[in-house]
Structure 1
Amino acid sequence: MKTKHILLLQRKYGVQGTNGTITYQGEEICHTIELPDRNNIPRISCIPIGQYKLEKRRYPKHGEQIGIPMVLGREAILIHAANNALKELQGCIAPVTVLTGEGRGDYSGKALAKLKALVYSLWDMGDEVYLNIR
């Protein structure tokens, strides 16, 4: 039987963007930035709270990424690098090392590498990884 691993994303909502922190087994992995909550409208809102199974996705533009496939009414939701939600995101989640404002952060590539290392190591063991957003 596959082991289920839960990454917890706890959010704070702002007018300019949604900030959060991802933890795994109580340990902080990275912060996150997303678009403001606009009722799950595609490309301009963060995704709804809930639990999502993460899957490996390959895209021409971004290469191999962590995908969030089962988002109601949405498609191609990814976890990818970005430092400004309003300018760079269309509903995806971007990990960042430091939060610098609502929907803004720095060192996203570094944070993404850390998150990917964790998630990929769990996938390599044949386990399932879920993102629990609340």
Structure 2
Amino acid sequence: MVLVLNRTYFPEGTQGTIVWNGTLVCYAIELPWLHNQQRVSCIPEGEYVLQKRFSPKFQWHLHLKNVPGRDLILIHPANDAKSELLGCIAPVTLHTGIGKGSSSRKALEKLKALVYRALSYNEEVKIRIQTNPSTPLRKTRLKNK
């Protein structure tokens, strides 16, 4: 199984959609792209294996394995990237602003149900992170003209 996180970058944060088989699973928020700097930047685009993880803080959530130059990159609940994330990805039900969303726990439950089901069948689950093909380069170019 390969989930796709399509990103749109902004100076204040990163917005995304998480899609599986062409269907929207949930939205995502992340920190802005600041060249993979630890604790202040989202992670590089690429494909990462997902695994189940438990912690007292987040309970059951997801861990992205082998992120270059980073460790312990998680998919966990958060509604404000700047104040709640250190490079991780937060699923949200709705974008409410740049790097902000709502009902993150609900979105995480939906995402976990899909991923954990595949993992229960010993299927490898990956997430492919890429720039959203329909944004923001066109908008950026138009603004700069």
Paired amino acid for 1:98: L
Aligned to 1:88: 84
Secondary structure of residue in 2 paired with 1:44: coil
Q: Which runs of 5 or more residues in structure 1 are unaligned?
A: none
Root mean square deviation of aligned Cα: 0.8
- Identity over aligned pairs, percent: 50
TM (norm. structure 1) is 0.94
Shift of residue 58 of structure 1? 2.4
Q: What are the within-5 Å matches in structure 2 for residues 91-102 of structure 1?
A: 91-102=87-98
C-alpha separation in 1, matches of 2:64 and 2:97? 25
Relative to its length, the structure with more helix (as a share) is: 2
Paired amino acid for 1:21: T
Q: What are the within-5 Å matches in structure 2 for residues 113-128 of structure 1?
A: 113-128=109-124
TM (norm. structure 2) is 0.87
Do 2:17 and 2:24's aligned partners in 1 also have CA atoms closer than 8 Å? yes
Deviation digits for residues 23-80 of structure 1, max 9, x if unmatched?
0000100000000000000100000000000011222322222100210110111000
* Higher Rg of the two aligned structures: 2
2:1 pairs with 1:16: no
Paired amino acid for 1:65: H
Shift of residue 107 of structure 1? 0.7
Shift of residue 15 of structure 1? 1.2
4+ residue runs over 3 A deviation: none
Do 2:58 and 2:77's aligned partners in 1 also have CA atoms closer than 8 Å? no
Q: Which runs of 5 or more residues in structure 2 are unaligned?
A: 131-145
Q: How many residues were matched structurally?
A: 130
Paired amino acid for 1:71: V
